[in-house]
Structure 1
Amino acid sequence: MGSQVNGSERGLRPVRIANCSGGQMEPGWQMRKQASLGPVDFITGDWLAENNLAQEQAAIVAGTGEGFKKNAWEALQLSMDVIAEKKIKVIIDGGGLNPQALAEHCQELSDAKGYGLTCAFVSGDNMVGQVKKTLKSTGALPTTFQDINTKAHKSKAELGFGEDDVLACNAYIGARGIVKGLEAGADIIICGRVADASPVIGAAWWWYGWSDTDFDRLAGAFLAGHLIECSAYASGSNFSGFHRFPLERFIDSGFPIAEINRDGTCVITKHPGTNGMVTEETVKCQLLYEIQGNMYLNSDVTAYLDDAKVEQIATDRVRVSGIRGAPPPPTTKLAIYYKGGFESQNLSNAAGYATRKKYKLYEMQIRARMAEEKLDDKFTVLDFQVVGSDKKNPYRQLECTTYFRIFAQAAAPEPLSALKLLLADETMQHFSGLHWSQDLRTADPKSFYVYYPCIVSQDEIKEAVHILAPAGKDGKITIAQTLECTRPPLYEPIPPRESYNTRNLIDLAALGKTVDMPLGNIALGRSGDKGSNINCGLFVDRPDVYDWFRTFLTIDKMKELIGGDWKEDEYRLERVEFPHIFAVHFVIYGILGRGVSSSTLLDNRGKGFTDYVRTKHIPVPEKFVPYTWVEDDESDLQ
């Protein structure tokens, strides 16, 4: 069955939008699967993360890339015949720093194969020229660029980087160019740094002919985009309750599809016969992933999630509603990426007896040699970390093996090379039983990039969509039409972010006796990175359990659960509730340091944070024990 995006069905039934990618490594054949396995009207794909654009610029400089994501181009090459046959429209952000080049490649392929498709690209997000020019001429960022946390306008001295260090600078733009491109007849629209959900918002906006002030509807589409933009995260992957099901269920999970209704509500589903699952729990986990609290910002709309509802209506079909919309903020996020220097990781292992003293001795030996070599002040970061905890009375050696991670950063590669050599010099003076893995390449210096988050006025962005013409007689692709985009007609200043303990306290003592068990026995959840911050959402599955849960899980209790990783003087915690999905949500500000690309944490994207918290033992009322489950049985590993 083919799709009818240009036919009489448009606007008369829910629009079916299938996502095929949630990250830069996503293989191209996932797009073909989404196009082939059932009827869809649109395919969207998200290939960009906060560090990808810096990587693309480095590849351009090295002569190894054109600025767009190679896997996105692979996906289009593998799928364009099906896309053309079924009249599916495609909107992706895989254009990276050079959406024009990828759009031209697509137009060339369509022309060569006789597919008759019209390709387009969106511009306006790339502001690197303005940044470099202003840094050079004034010694500061443009006056309209403000630090996302302090709202300060900073000079080069305050920033710690100059025009020669800047690799990329991109604003997170919305769906306005996408909508104009669809109105002009584009079949494939290539974007750069649009916000992750913008392709889905644009598809639904055009399908129904919404106004740009239909904020409730736009907010619903925004959340639908959020739910499906991370590959199979809504349909079985990264699911904290996976251990309660046959593991085979999660091999090659089908990617999600959003069926968006005219009112902005949606049903999350997937193609029949694919693996994985779409349940209330998988959708709640994704809803709570990488959000900003109860207020979720986009360039076209602000979505308020307080009253979000998630309801299973059939097998692999989950309805999501209750999202309230408001005008977008007058500013949007602006990501500046600059050269941070060089970094390395030196990894060594220890097994069993007296492990902590072994690592203490090793650090003392290394620091003594560094002092002799006058390396003490040559690093911007030098962190000694013990990863793992050895099992007492182990059955096999790996159960009591941990590793020592020396994470180092410096402005130049020489101190890192010197550190590697220093460690080699100490090879035979190590503690009892030290051993390494076969691959020692992590100890070699490699460049890293720093993400500096800013905000910029939306009115400063010059967004446009460019419709390509078929190749001329000379084989060249030209722009047939450029359509400039208006800015949002209405803004609403960002109100102070909410943070509170529950307003519906119950008497915990009145619940009676408790049983000590892992938090994860009664609560599911998910976490992820938001720049230098981690978000963490946890939920239970019954209203009576939720009354206890939200009373118990206070701001101070979360700090206690974070344990030794909490730094009172450096971090800040926000807490809100989502009562209709029985969830409590936290944002831990500052815990990722300078963010994913340069965080010292092993879990530098915060993906494992929720499962760390869920393994902490808490007192659960005995009356709720029948509603708990147990963590996976590891006896089959012995």
Structure 2
Amino acid sequence: MGDVRTRWAAAGTRPVRIANCSGARGDPGSQMRRQAIEGDVDFITGDYLAEMNLAENAEKMAAGKHDGWEPTAWDGLEQTLDVLDEKRIKVVFNGGALNPSGLAKKCQKLVTERGYNLKVAYVYGDDLIDEVKADLEKTRTLPKHLDSENDKVSLAQNATSLLDTKGKRIVSANAYLGARAIVKGLELGADIIVCGRVADASPVIGAAWYWHKWNESDYDNLAGALIAGHLIECSAYVTGSNFAGFTEYPLETFVDLPFGIAEIAADGTSVITKHENTKGLVNEDNVKCQFLYELQGSIYLNSDVTANAKDIEIQQVGKDRVRLSNIKGFPPPPTTKLAIFYHGGYEAQLLFNATGYATAQKWHLMETQFRFALKQSGRLEKFQLLDFQIIGTPEYNPRSQFASTTYCRVFAQADTETVLYGLLKTFSEIAMQHFSGFHLSLDTRTALPRSYLAFYPAIYPQNSLDEGVAVLSADGSVAEKASAGHPSEYRKLDARENYETASPVDLSMFGPTRKARLGDVVLARSGDKGANINLGLFVRRSEHYPWLQSFATRARMTELMGDDWREDFFVERMEFQNILAVHFVIYGPLGRGVSSCRLLDCLGKGFADYIRDKVIDVPESILADMPAIREERKAML
């Protein structure tokens, strides 16, 4: 890329090189600096916001105990401003959270003090809490739920409880913004753009849109940038983190992972890569894993474009270089996601241990004792949720007491702290009636009630957004504002695809089988979308794909879920044939989302490896191919 002076003159004539520095609030500021100094890039983007960040800090900010923006985002700017100024790298990120203007002004102050030639701006318009509160008080009706258009999906228990505006008060309400305001800010000369709640891929879309001078109707190009943004926005997920195939490589490959880079061409195709001479890996398998993560079928939505990735092609084109193509774009939907968080009540958990002999009977006795005592005292019916979760299985002929021990997690939620203190009181009353060998890990930090936040994912009309960008002057005042406007065209959402394979085959045609784990022949990734878990499974040779297509049915998925399946769940299934994948969405397991989920795996990340651990009948012919496949992958390092 060479000389800084010529680099920006080449805008639009070569692929734009966008490096991501964050996928979660914990990613340190050093990752921003690392992306700036370890090689040439045009933009650095960052996604510091999970769905919970805004809500968790909202009340602290209102009480003057939090700045509203993410400290690690500020850390990155503070460490990297000198390199940004020297190399003329532009930065777009959502670490402004609840207070993008505050972080932008803090950044501008430092820029001015150090004498850097950098223009700072912030995006506004995502914070809708006052409007949502007023509408709810006035109409007493909820905004439309994100999953409400699917009549086969059952909303989570207590999903509508925020209608109780006194007891379940709203804490935050933020719309997911697109890239339009980002593009406006870049056109006004901004070097650093601080956003609040923009969609995960919006900073990447905005950077590519501005660089290539696309029109808003260049939907194929925008769709390609959307998928590229989806791939690099999750920290190191596209360079080796959260990778189902990690056991096939030397362990040191995954220590000190770099973050991903997308090189997006003028036609929207892209190459996913990383800086040279860094750890990790970028290959077809890991890129496929990340592509399949947090999807809900083949349609990926953003406020600027609807991407249809059903026929996506993912191809290795060099060491640590994977090309994405064949993504189709269409006008955006008329609505965007609106994340509403509210006080759901209080929760607590008690942890109890059992060792060895007759463990299953021990846990059955304890739950029976608990429920009898709670009912006798009139407390049982007062819980929103009371779950007895058995974690682990005692080892057969154990070699240590640890290996013989499992625990029961009693997880409870209620409207008031009093009910949960009643759970503790009940335990104290029956504690000495315990099973043989009972012991406990009663951590007061989790046993005592704490307030929890619940999530209501709604939709909001795009034409009602007041979205824009403000560019700051050297003294931190607003020098110029520009409205983002609204898309000129929308496309109504179709029902998501849900089908079994078109040409199933008899599994016996693959010859003799033997018992093996699904993960011995299939890679996968899973993740959360509100109440739902998505799961993508894929094989690595085309001759294996008919087996996966015919094996991985909706009925099979409910069977593989075992005791975790509930009748009020719903399964969607579709295929990405060009990448040999079958994709599922299971609606309902995560309840009201991450912040109030009853499961240990509240993000659904472990679901893929749970399914891959299932022992099934695997064709011996496929198992025989696996050593060669693994050697091929290692050879790419």
Give the TM-score, by structure 2 length: 0.94
Aligned length: 621
Match of residue 344 from structure 2: 340
Deviation digits for residues 462-505 of structure 1 (CA, Å, limit 9, x no counterpart): 1110001111xxxxx21000101121111110011111111132
2:593 to 592, 595, 613: 595
Asked if the contact 1:467–1:480 (Cα under 8 Å) also holds between the matched residues in 2, the reply is: yes
- Give 1:508 deviation, angstroms: 2.3
Decide whether aligned partners of structure 1 residues 76 and 542 sit closer, same or farther in structure 2, where only a CA change above 3 A counts.
same
Alignment partner of 1:304 out of 298, 301, 308:
308
Residue 6 of structure 1, CA deviation: 7.0
Report what 2:81 is aligned to. Answer: 80
Q: What amino acid is aligned across from residue 455 of structure 1 in structure 2?
A: I
Distance across 2 between alignment mates of 1:70 and 1:623: 53
Match of 1:422 in 2: 426
Q: Distance in 2 between matches of 1:594 and 1:315?
A: 42
For 2:499, the equivalent position in structure 1 comes to 500
Letter in 1 for 2:281: M
Q: Which letter does structure 2 place at the counterpart of 1:351?
A: T
CA distance in 2, matches of 1:81, 1:426: 63
CA drift of 1:4 comes to: 5.6
Matched, 1:162 2:165: yes
Equivalent in the alignment of 1:635: none
Shift of 1:158: 6.8
Counterparts of residues 343-358 of structure 1 (less than 5 Å) = 343-358=347-362
Aligned counterparts of 2:189 and 2:139: Cα–Cα separation in 1: 43
| Superposition deviation, residue 138 in structure 1 | 3.3
Aligned partners of 1:629 and 1:396: how far apart in 2? 34
Contact kept in structure 2, 1:5 and 1:89, CA below 8 Å: no
2:160 and 2:203 mapped to 1: Cα distance?
38
Checking the alignment, whether the CA contact within 8 Å between 1:125 and 1:463 is kept in structure 2 is yes
What does the per-residue CA deviation read over 1:352-397, in whole Å, with 9 as the maximum and x for residues that have no partner?
1111111112112222332343321221111111011111112222
Aligned partners of 2:513, 2:149: CA distance in 1, in Å?
Answer: 46
Partner of 1:54: 55
What is the one-letter code of the residue matched to 1:486? Answer: G
Residue 2 of structure 1 deviates from its aligned partner by 6.5
Say if 1:275 and 1:349 are closer, same or farther in 2 by CA, change over 3 A. Answer: same
The answer to whether structure 1 residue 260 and structure 2 residue 259 are counterparts is no
The amino acid of 1:252's aligned partner reads D
**2:8 counterpart letter in structure 1:** G
Q: In structure 1, which of residues 369, 375, 393 is the aligned counterpart of residue 373 of structure 2?
A: 369
Counterpart of 1:581 in structure 2 is 579
Unaligned ranges ≥5, structure 2:
631-637
**8 Å CA contact retained: 2:384, 2:413:** yes
Aligned position for 1:129: 130
In structure 2, distance between residues paired with 1:111 and 1:350: 62
- Please state whether the residue corresponding to 2:396 is helix, strand or coil: coil
> What displacement does 1:60 show?
1.2
Distance 2:194 2:278 in 1: 28
Question: 2:482: which partner in 1?
Answer: 483
CA distance in 1, matches of 2:255, 2:4: 28
**AA matched with 1:132:** K
Q: Does 1:116 align with 2:120?
A: no
Contact 2:352 2:442 (C-alpha < 8 Å) held by counterparts: no
Q: Does 1:286 align with 2:310?
A: no
Contact 1:3 1:39 (8 Å CA) reproduced: no
Aligned to 1:474: none
The DSSP-based 3-state class of the residue aligned with 1:232 is coil
The match for 1:207 among 182, 205, 211 is: 211
Post-superposition shift, 1:415? Answer: 1.7
Measured after TM superposition, the shift of residue 556 of structure 1 is 0.9
Tell me, what secondary structure is at the counterpart of 2:458? strand
Provide structure 1 residue ranges, at least 5 long, that are not aligned to the other structure.
472-476, 633-638
1:37 aligns with 2:38: yes
Match of 1:616 in 2: 614
Alpha-carbon separation, structure 1, partners of 2:543 and 2:6: 45
- In 1, Cα distance between equivalents of 2:288 and 2:467: 34
Counterpart for residue 15 of structure 1 = 16
Q: Report the alpha carbon displacement of residue 439 of structure 1 after superposing the two structures with TM.
A: 3.7
User: Residues 387-420 of structure 1, C-alpha deviation per residue, up to 9 Å, x if partnerless?
Assistant: 1111111222222221100111111112212322
- Aligned residues of 1:4 and 1:41 also touching (Cα < 8 A): no
Q: Give TM-score, length-normalised by structure 1.
A: 0.94
Q: Within 2, Cα distance between the matches of 1:92 and 1:125? A: 14
CA distance in 1, matches of 2:73, 2:268: 28
Contact 2:136 2:163 (8 Å CA) reproduced:
no
Q: 1:189 to 1:2 in 2, by over 3 A?
A: farther
In structure 1, C-alpha distance between the alignment counterparts of 2:5 and 2:59, rounded to whole Å: 41
Asked if residue 324 in structure 1 is aligned to residue 328 in structure 2, the reply is: yes
- Whether 1:197 and 2:201 are equivalent positions in the alignment is yes
Are the structure 2 counterparts of residues 157 and 598 from structure 1 closer, same or farther at C-alpha, using a change threshold of 3 Å? closer
Identical-residue share of aligned pairs (%): 51
Note the C-alpha offset of 1:159: 4.5
The 5 Å alignment of 1:364-443 reads 364-437=368-441, 439-443=443-447
Retained in 2: the 8 A contact 1:303–1:325?
Answer: yes
- In structure 1, C-alpha distance between the alignment counterparts of 2:346 and 2:25, rounded to whole Å: 23
Supply the distance in 1 between the matched residues of 2:129 and 2:238 (Cα, whole angstroms): 34
In structure 1, give the amino acid aligned to 2:594. V
Report the CA distance shift for 1:622/1:199 in structure 2 as closer, same or farther (over 3 A). Answer: same
CA RMSD of the aligned region, Å? 2.0
Alpha-carbon contact 1:226-1:287 (below 8 Å) kept: yes
1:521 and 1:629 in contact (8 A); partners too: no
Distance 1:414 1:158 in 2: 19
Give the direction of change, closer, same or farther, for the CA distance of 1:557–1:466 in structure 2 (3 Å limit).
same
The within-5 A match list for 1:442-453 is: 442-453=446-457
Provide the rounded CA distance (Å) in 1 between the counterparts of 2:498 and 2:593: 23
**Partner-residue secondary structure (3-state), 1:455:** strand
**CA–CA separation in structure 2 for the residues paired with 1:469 and 1:435:** 63
Letter in 2 for 1:73: W
Q: Could you tell me whether the CA contact under 8 Å between 2:162 and 2:170 is conserved in 1?
A: no
How far apart, in 2, do the equivalents of 1:445 and 1:4 lie? 59
Q: Which residue of 2 aligns with 1:636?
A: none
CA contact (8 A) 1:410 1:416 kept: yes
CA distance, structure 2, for counterparts of residue 3 and residue 523 of structure 1: 45
SS at match of 1:380: strand
Aligned pair 1:149/2:150, yes or no? Answer: no
Separation (CA, whole Å) in 1 of partners of 2:269 and 2:620: 38
Q: After TM superposition, list the pairs within 5 Å mapping 1:518-529 onto structure 2.
A: 518-529=517-528
Matched, 1:464 2:468: yes
> Partners in 2 of 1:62 and 1:410 — Cα distance?
25
